[in-house]
Amino acid sequence: MLSGEQTLAGRFGTHHTVRVAGALIVLLCVVAVLAPVIAPYSPAAQLDIVALKNTPPSRAHPFGTDWFSRDVLSRVIFGARVSLSVAGLSALLSTTVGTAYGLAAGYAGGRVEQMMMHLLDALLSIPRVLLLVAVLALWQPVPLPGLVLVLGLTGWYGVSRIVRAEVRNASSREYVLAARALGASNVRVVLRHLLPNVAGPIIVATTLGVANVIVLEAGLSFLGVGAREPNASWGTIFFTGGSSPTDTWWVALFPGVAIVVTVLAFNVLGDALRDILDPRQLHSIGSRSSD
């Protein structure tokens, strides 16, 4: 007897890229959570402003030190907390808002859906980066929850489009009509019958969204409107070293590598999830094991 979950779990296991990317992301999260334990120094401690200013990587400081004689390794480790939590939370916020909007539009149908999608088109026509810069420039210094809010509320359009398309597809299935015919309320139909059937694309969109936000947040930090000291993200650290990359390459290199590796891991994971959670492929597995 082959059950649906076992099959799905089996596909996760055999997918090597997912394993590698997933393991890497788990590792990064562990590092972020355990930062105070792992990091050799405090990220803000100016160790010796005279002797340890801008020293290259050494045994004592594997990632070197920066202009203020702070340990770059410790800063990158603590930066993981900021980068990952800002990206993760705002992607989650985007997904929640986008899913709710997409579900509502797709299930409502008719004129309501048309108006909601027109509104979405209007919102999509505003360049995200410019909007973010404008809002953040007015909101300075922005606290981290504020940053999450602003990033999250400008990133849900794509998700809601995906969800709306999936809902339209799923709600033409007879089981949605059947659920209504058996007395389920609209809310129940949407949450219990539609949402689980559109979960795959939502998970993929969220994963890719995290990667997107990490890059975006780094860019905003470069423009001086992102994460600020003492909550330095990888982006913040990178661009403190970016002013003199030839002399103090280590200050920029290590947070840069952290950004690239993390974004790559999330993108790879997202793409692999897209393959794994494809409902058509799930369906083909279903028909193979039936009858």
Partner 1 sequence: MAERRAPSPASGPPRSSDGASTAPLLSVGELRTYFYTDSGVARAVDGVTFEIGARETIGLVGESGCGKSVTALSLLRLIRPPGRIEPGSRILFEGRDLTTVDEKAMRAVRGARIAMVFQEPMTALNPVFTVGDQIAEVVRVHGAGSRREAWGRAVQMLETVGIPSPAQRARDYPHQLSGGMRQRVVIAMALVMNPALVIADEPTTALDVTIQAQILELLRDLQHRFGTSILLITHDLGVVAETVSRVIVMYGGEIVEHASVDELFARAHHPYTEGLLSAMPQVGQQRERLATIPGTVPPPTAWPSGCRFHDRCPYAWDRCVTEHPPLYQLGGGHTSRCHLADEPARRAEVHEPAVAVLGGAGGTPGGSRAGEQDNVSERKAIS
Question: Judged by CB under 8 A, which of 17, 185, 244, 281 binds partner 1?
Answer: 185
CA distances from 219 to 18, 69, 141, 263 (A): 27, 24, 16, 13
**125 forms part of the interface with partner 1 (CB under 8 A):** no
Question: Judged by CB under 8 A, which of 182, 187, 246, 280 binds partner 1?
Answer: 182
Between CA 113 and CA 109 the distance in angstroms is 5
Between residue 50 and residue 109, which ones bind partner 1 under the rule CB under 8 A? 109
Residue (202 or 211) nearer to partner 1, CB: 202
Which region among 46-54, 156-164, 182-190, 256-264 touches partner 1 (by CB under 8 A)? 182-190
Residue (130 or 182) nearer to partner 1, CB: 182
**173 forms part of the interface with partner 1 (CB under 8 A):** yes
**187 forms part of the interface with partner 1 (CB under 8 A):** no
Q: Pull the structure tokens for residue 163.
A: 């969800």
* C-alpha 98 chain-centroid distance: 14
**181 forms part of the interface with partner 1 (CB under 8 A):** yes
Between CA 238 and CA 227 the distance in angstroms is 12
Identify the residue whose tokens are 């947070």: 255
Question: Judged by CB under 8 A, which of 55, 94, 171, 233 binds partner 1?
Answer: 171
**118 forms part of the interface with partner 1 (CB under 8 A):** no
Q: Hey, how many other C-beta atoms are within 10 angstroms of the C-beta on 168? A: 16
Say whether 2 sits in a helix, a strand or coil.
coil
**10 forms part of the interface with partner 1 (CB under 8 A):** no
List of residues 6+ apart from 71 with CB closer than 8 A = 39, 40, 41, 43, 45, 47, 61, 63, 65
**3 forms part of the interface with partner 1 (CB under 8 A):** yes
Which region among 135-143, 159-167, 172-180, 243-251 touches partner 1 (by CB under 8 A)? 172-180
At position 55, the amino acid (one-letter code) is: T
Residue (118 or 173) nearer to partner 1, CB: 173
**246 forms part of the interface with partner 1 (CB under 8 A):** no
List of residues 6+ apart from 202 with CB closer than 8 A = 95, 99, 159, 162, 163
Interface positions with partner 1 (CB under 8 A): 1-4, 109-111, 171-185, 188, 192-193, 196-197, 282-283, 286-287, 289-291
